[in-house]
């Protein structure tokens, strides 16, 4: 089933502009801006060369592997979730922005049945629980004086069980680093002069580790499906969104649907990239854990019945 295309109106364009601004700001070390310790609850990569901020979920995993209590990144999740809900997903997350750009390429998107949707949204809580379980048990065993065998058994997963497979790490850190290595080891003029033989390519492919194939496959699957299903990663798999949604249900910022203006035409729900059942929520304040406060519904409502509210 295809979803009717929704045309971007002014809030939609404003959101793209703000997403682009955050995208550039978070990567602005490339342009010489200093790195900061500002910790943000969105999905990026700690290994990103030009990053100016600390990505909270990567920091939690890394600090637990030292082992240090990750107070600041956890506080970033709680504060942001309680004050602004999942607005950081809708307006600031670099990987959310990448998915929105992918979705803009196609006019129509696939509709996921509500039954499948409501089952699949739980996957991201499983990813979150598994990550915290591995990092948490490692931290406790290291703090208790043992745990070195456990750490060795985890290998590359010790410093970030989720980060190692995260499509955002592959997109923002692994691929740029591969491109840098490639461009410094093989100059373009060399390729143009001598061409690339089958043997050279085969040797290069053989030198790639299996984990890298897994990472690239995950990224290709996520990006490829983002063209067809809006925010598929955010809806079903992202542990950062799952962590935020634990607090966003108590958020000051929410939505209100004015019952006097609303004619229940359903345009708001058709426009929602997160499939929130707006009409089934309390009209006074919609605080759905899936809602990223993107305000596409506000934009889509011709009767201006939906507005953000704070608190
Ligand atoms: S759910 Fe994850 S990837 Fe999506 S916007 Fe939120 S933090 Fe970013
Ligand atoms: S309910 Fe509205 S603000 Fe929330 S995710 Fe859906 S469209 Fe965006």
* pLDDT surpassing 80 at residue 297: yes
Query: What is the percent of the chain where pLDDT is above 90?
Result: 84
- State whether the beta carbon of 154 lies less than 6 angstroms from ligand 2: no
- State whether the beta carbon of 43 lies less than 6 angstroms from ligand 1: yes
Ligand 2 atom nearest 306 alpha carbon: 2
Q: Are 272 and 297 in contact (CB under 8 A)?
A: yes
Distance 231 CA to ligand 1 centre (A): 8
Alpha carbon separation from 191 to 194, 199, 208, 285, 308 (Å, rounded): 5, 14, 20, 60, 55
Reference 56, options 24, 78, 35, 30; nearest CA is 78
The pLDDT, as a whole number, for residue 203 is: 73
pTM of the model: 0.92
Ligand 2 atom nearest 275 alpha carbon: 6
* pLDDT surpassing 60 at residue 5: no
Q: Which of 16, 22, 58, 95 maximizes ligand 1 atoms within 8 Å of its Cβ, making it the mutation to test the pocket?
A: 95
* pLDDT surpassing 80 at residue 201: no
* pLDDT surpassing 60 at residue 4: no
Out of 145-159, 175-189, 206-220, give the one with best mean pLDDT: 145-159
- State whether the beta carbon of 63 lies less than 6 angstroms from ligand 1: no
The pLDDT, as a whole number, for residue 2 is: 62
Distance 235 CA to ligand 1 centre (A): 8
- Assigned token pair, 32: 């010489």
């Amino acid at each position: 089933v295809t979803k009717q295309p929704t045309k971007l109106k002014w809030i939609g364009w404003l959101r793209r502009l703000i997403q682009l601004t955050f995208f550039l700001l978070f990567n602005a070390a490339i342009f010489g801006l200093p790195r900061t310790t500002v910790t943000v609850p969105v999905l990026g990569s700690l290994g990103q060369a030009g990053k100016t901020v600390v990505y909270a979920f990567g920091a939690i995993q890394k600090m637990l592997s030292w082992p240090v209590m990750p107070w600041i990144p956890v506080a970033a999740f709680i504060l942001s979730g309680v004050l602004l809900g999942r607005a950081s997903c809708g307006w600031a997350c670099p990987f959310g922005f990448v998915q929105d750009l992918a979705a803009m390429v196609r006019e129509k998107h696939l509709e996921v049945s509500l039954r499948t949707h409501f089952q699949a949204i739980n996957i991201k809580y499983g990813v979150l629980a598994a990550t915290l379980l591995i990092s948490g048990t490692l931290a406790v065993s290291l703090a208790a004086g043992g745990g070195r065998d456990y750490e060795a058994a985890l290998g590359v997963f010790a410093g970030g069980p989720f980060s190692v497979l995260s499509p955002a790490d592959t997109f923002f850190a692994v691929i740029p680093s591969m491109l840098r290595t490639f461009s410094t080891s093989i100059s373009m003029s060399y390729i143009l002069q001598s061409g690339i033989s089958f043997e050279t390519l085969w040797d290069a492919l053989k030198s790639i580790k299996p984990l890298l194939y897994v990472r690239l496959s995950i990224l290709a699957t996520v990006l490829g499906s983002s063209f067809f299903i809006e925010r598929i990663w955010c809806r079903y798999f992202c542990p950062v969104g799952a962590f935020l949604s634990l607090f966003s249900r108590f958020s000051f910022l929410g939505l209100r649907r004015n019952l006097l203006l609303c004619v229940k035409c359903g345009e708001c729900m058709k426009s929602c990239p997160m499939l929130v059942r707006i009409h089934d929520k309390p009209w006074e304040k919609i605080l759905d854990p899936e809602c990223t406060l993107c305000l596409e519904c506000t934009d889509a409502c011709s009767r201006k019945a939906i507005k953000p509210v704070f608190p």
